[in-house]
Amino acid sequence: MTERIQKKTDSGFIAKSEPSQILEGIDLDGKVAVVTGGYSGIGLETTRALSDRGVKVYVPVRDPAKAEENLKSMTGDVVVAEMDLADLDSVKTFAQSVAAAENDLHLLINNAGIMACPETRVGNNWESQFAVNHLGHFVLTTELLPQLLAANGSRVVCLSSIGHKRSDILWDDIHYNNNPYEKWTAYAQSKSANALFALGLDMKYRDQGVQAFSVHPGGIMTPLQRHLDNEEMQALGWTDAEGNLSELAASLFKSTTQGCTTTLWAATSPALANTGGLYCEDCDVANLATEDSPPYVDVAPWAANEDSALRLWDLTEQMLVG
């Protein structure tokens, strides 16, 4: 088993850097991007930061009314089209619409996701967190590969989470066909899958000009927490009894603008020009986790494992044709 080398650099940024700092001096004028979930939470701020710098941003949306309201303040070139990551036909239709309009795609930000939701089945009886967070983005990315390859230097950023440290891929029961569903483990394996997908994509296509990275954006209060009540968030140490951020969370959590900066750094930093497949956090490359790692930083070895990345790629293709 081979772990991709992970080692912090001196990126010059901090955990709570702002988008303007990350993008200072980066020429993005005329570039084209797709940002899933780009109309809510940190995805909205990713769209704003890129479009403000001259990027044409395609935003696939599951809720057009919400997207229209949230995106109305955008001054850049933002194109909205319907897509539901749980519906792979809609994913393919969206990808085809982008391909019909654009020869080149420079940035693909796989930002959207669901977390700790009740057990739900979609598609071919797939567990929804794995299906939405991984399978939907796998299909979107592979459908857009011709445009990514044509850009002669593109980047794909897959949003993972520190939650991946709860679980490797449940290789023998990914969709909970044999064991009771557990929402946090299901979320964790989907986030490990996001990191492994970025690694596998980079292994397969970097020599052809497509780099890929995975990102832990940090703790941020966004609609991602919509399936959690305050009692559970309080037990996690995130909030107090009144629903306000706990003292610890207030010191660690980021604003939504700060929450998009590791994504922006992975998508644009010249320091990453000759690398790929890395898991990033706090506007830098993460270290590989050890037994002494704090719980809120570093990447678990199973999420940086090249053999596992290729194994997941093969399993995913089998699911999609099954």
Which residues are part of the catalytic machinery?
160, 187, 191
User: Please, are residues 17 and 254 in contact by the beta-carbon 8 Å criterion?
Assistant: no
> 274 is written with which tokens?
């000759």
Q: Which of 114, 21, 105 is nearest to 62 (CA)?
A: 114
User: Please, are residues 49 and 55 in contact by the beta-carbon 8 Å criterion?
Assistant: no
Residues 115, 118: Cα–Cα separation, whole Å: 9
CA distances from 158 to 37, 194, 224, 290, 322 (A): 12, 6, 16, 23, 25
Residues 76, 35: Cα–Cα separation, whole Å: 14
Tokens 């935003």 — which residue? 59
Residues 172, 177: Cα–Cα separation, whole Å: 10
- How does 109-139 read in b/e, with b if 16+ C-beta sit within 10 Å? bbbbbbbbeeeeebbeebbbbbbbbbbbbbb
Residues 168, 174: Cα–Cα separation, whole Å: 10
Looking at residue 122, the DSSP 8-state letter turns out to be: E
- Strands (E) in the chain, as ranges, are 32-35, 56-61, 78-82, 107-110, 121-122, 126-127, 154-159, 210-216, 279-281, 284-285
Task: Give the SS3 label for residue 171.
Answer: coil
Mapped to the 3 state alphabet, what secondary structure does 19-84 carry?
HHHHHCCCCCCCCEEEECCCCCHHHHHHHHHHHHCCCEEEEEECCHHHHHHHHCCCCCCEEEEECC
